[in-house]
Amino acid sequence: MQIMQRLAWASLLVISVLASAAQAQTFPTKGLRLIVTFPPGGAADVTGRILAEHMTKGLGQPVIVDNRPGGGSVIGYELGARAPADGHTMLMVWPSFVLGPALRQGLPYDPLRDFKAVGQTISLPMAIAISPSIPAKTIQELIALARTKPGEIAYGTSGAGGVHHIFGEMLNLAAKTSFTHAPYQGEVPALTSVVGGHLPMVLVNASAIAPFAKSGKVRALAVTSAERLDLMPGVPTLRESGYPDLVALNWSGIVVPAATSPAVIARLNVELVRALRHPEVQEKFRSYGMVALPSTPEQFGTYLQSESASFAKVVREANIKVD
């Protein structure tokens, strides 16, 4: 009986592998959709459209960006989870994808159970900047000032519960400060408030801060990447400023519904990596302050698990709450 059962299971496995291979050979059979959970014009939309253009060439079918903003990206993430698992719907994810479960209960998706990774796309370093009216020339001076004014210095971000908010609280934990979070509806409003003198500090993507820092409208004090950035070569990293563990990046990647065939995922990864390695794509990303990060599905899947655990730890230790 055991021999018969083993033979039956082996037969099912062979059939499954053959079916998967056959599907991959004919895939894609129609146009593909790339769900982007942000409105047109921002870093997420730019990333999606650059990749969609180049993946279209390799896949032989059009890849169309489908912007689905709202609900802290939950609307788009849920749409991706419920899509047919045939590889024709891809979902672009950002840190909010794995941050959600740590911040909110009852989400309509589980990032690690309901999806499979296709690959990482880009990383986007963040930066800390202050109003020129603040009497601090370095991040060390700002931290020293903050310790004398507990809770009085607010830092603006693009929204509550996002990666910038989480990193702000990582800074509080590491530096033993109590900077107060001031969420805005996007990077530009937060930066505008600092430029106008209504907000002392901002923590958003370095690419957004760079032009304001260059014109002297804000003073950039530190970047969150492991190395200095070409965009702001004179701005030190937090690592070299005395905080070696404060290295963090905004990032994105592509996932598909969990039941998608491994062979189809492999095909999508091939075209994603091909696009990310294209010199024109890399140059476009660099112009936006992004770094192309091609990976295997396994590497990105492991990264999602690691980021999920890391974010959950910060949320717990900093007791972060969002409405």
Question: Using one digit for the tens of pLDDT, what is the confidence trace for 8-49?
Answer: 555 544 444 444 455 557 899 999 999 999 888 878 899 999
- Round to whole Å and give the CA distance between 67 and 65: 6
For the chain, give every residue range classified as CATH 3.40.190.150.
Answer: 30-124+250-318
Q: Higher confidence at residue 72 or residue 126?
A: 126
What is the pLDDT at residue 150? 95
Highest mean pLDDT among 180-189, 226-235, 259-268, 285-294: 259-268
Radius of gyration of the chain (CA): 22
Query: What are the Cα distances from residue 190, in Å, to 36, 117, 135, 215?
Result: 23, 32, 20, 17
* Of 19-33, 218-232, 236-250, 285-299, minimum mean pLDDT range: 19-33
Report the predicted TM-score, pTM, of the whole model to 2 decimal places. Answer: 0.84
What is the pLDDT at residue 91? 98
What is the pLDDT at residue 161? 86
What is the pLDDT at residue 187? 86
- Cα 254 to chain centroid distance, Å, stands at 10
For the chain, give every residue range classified as CATH 3.40.190.10.
Answer: 125-223
Architecture of domain 125-223: 3-Layer(aba) Sandwich (3.40)
89-108 pLDDT, tens digit per residue, is 999 999 999 999 999 989 99
Average pLDDT over residues 49-57: 97
**Residue 298 has which token pair?**
């396994």
pLDDT at 300 over 50: yes
- Residue where the block lists tokens 């400060």: 177
Architecture of domain 30-124+250-318: 3-Layer(aba) Sandwich (3.40)
Residue 105 neighbours by CB under 8 Å, 6+ apart:
none
Average pLDDT, the chain: 91
pLDDT at 274 over 50: yes
When pLDDT is cut at 50, 70 and 90, the band that residue 267 belongs to is very high
Query: What are the Cα distances from residue 306, in Å, to 112, 190, 284, 299?
Result: 11, 29, 28, 11
153-208 pLDDT, tens digit per residue, is 999 998 888 899 999 999 999 999 999 999 988 888 999 999 999 999 999 999 99
Average pLDDT over residues 48-61: 97
- Round to whole Å and give the CA distance between 86 and 61: 14
What is the pLDDT at residue 14? 46
**Residue 62 has which token pair?**
């059009």
- Round to whole Å and give the CA distance between 152 and 134: 12
What is the pLDDT at residue 16? 47
When pLDDT is cut at 50, 70 and 90, the band that residue 71 belongs to is confident
- Strands (DSSP E) contained in the chain are 32-36, 63-67, 89-93, 115-130, 154-157, 180-183, 201-205, 219-223, 249-257, 291-292
